[in-house]
């Protein structure tokens, strides 16, 4: 069975990215490439990582007016990412156009409330009500807009999955029980996130900063 574990390769250095990807390739289900990597290495870098043969999750968290997002996604189509992110807060029209612009084999998923935020941070942005309700509301917007799923924390994935049984749920901010949380504020263990309905898990530093990334990936995989 394919592993639900996606390694977040957060580095601007292509050589380091490829070395890390090669080390863990047999113990992860795919590679997530984000803004840091893409800004430094662009399409070429994505092609190089894709040569390892695992699915690519292109995490650019697009958030702009509908036309701009749709054109950006059209420009990304040749990369054929398995998963692509946009921000749910971009609104219904942006989400609809994002999905329409993507290739048929690309899942477009909407980031709801970043896992680095807690309820006080959310209130600072002017959102009233609970963080949990905001995630569920944005999940419903993503679903109505024709997206494939959402990104949320392990705190909300159970409720979101119950409301959208066929959705594709990406859960980042997962940590082994003894793991450092860093800038992540809504954290659960990988096993908890899977039990609560995650489709895939995104893990970065617990693997990439480990002295033995392959062992770290295997240890996480063994808990699932």
Catalytic residues: 59, 61, 64
Residue range at the interface with ligand OMP (CB under 6 A); choices 16-24, 89-97, 141-149, 202-210 = 202-210
Contact string 20-59 vs ligand OMP (x = CB under 6 A): --------------x------------------------x
* Residues in a beta bridge with 75: none
- Among 103, 44, 119, 57, smallest CA distance to 83 is for 57
* H or E element, residue 66: helix 66-76
CA distance 180 to 176: 8
In order of 141, 147, 160, 166, 170, the CA distances from 102 in angstroms are 18, 10, 24, 20, 18
What is the total residue count of the chain?
Answer: 224
**Per the annotation, does 60 bind a ligand?**
yes
Figure out which of the listed residues 45, 66, 90, 172 binds ligand OMP, where binding follows CB under 6 A: 172
Is 98 a binding residue for ligand OMP by CB under 6 A? The answer is no
**Per the annotation, does 61 bind a ligand?**
yes
Binding residues (CB under 6 A) for ligand OMP: these are: 8, 10, 34, 59, 85, 111, 114-115, 151, 172-173, 182, 184, 202-206
């Amino acid at each position: 069975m394919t592993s639900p574990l996606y390694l977040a390769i957060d580095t601007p250095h292509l050589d380091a990215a490829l070395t890390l990807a090669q080390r863990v390739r047999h113990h992860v289900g795919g590679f997530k490439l984000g803004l840091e990597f893409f800004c430094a290495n662009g399409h070429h870098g994505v092609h190089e990582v894709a040569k390892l043969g695992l699915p690519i999750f292109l995490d650019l968290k697009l958030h702009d007016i509908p036309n701009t997002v749709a054109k950006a996604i059209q420009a990304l189509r040749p990369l054929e990412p398995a998963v692509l992110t946009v921000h749910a807060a971009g609104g219904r029209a942006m989400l609809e156009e994002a999905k329409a612009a993507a290739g048929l084999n690309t899942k477009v998923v909407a980031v709801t409330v970043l896992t680095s935020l807690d309820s006080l941070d959310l209130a600072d942005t002017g959102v009233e009500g609970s963080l949990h309700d905001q995630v569920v509301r944005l999940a419903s917007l993503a679903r109505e807009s024709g997206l494939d799923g959402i990104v949320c924390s392990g705190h909300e994935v159970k409720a979101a999955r119950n409301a959208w049984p066929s959705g594709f749920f990406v859960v980042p901010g997962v940590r082994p029980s003894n793991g450092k949380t860093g800038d992540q504020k809504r954290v659960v263990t990988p096993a908890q996130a899977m039990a609560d309905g995650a489709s895939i898990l995104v893990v970065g530093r617990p693997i990439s900063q480990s002295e033995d990334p392959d062992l770290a990936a295997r240890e996480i995989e063994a808990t699932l």
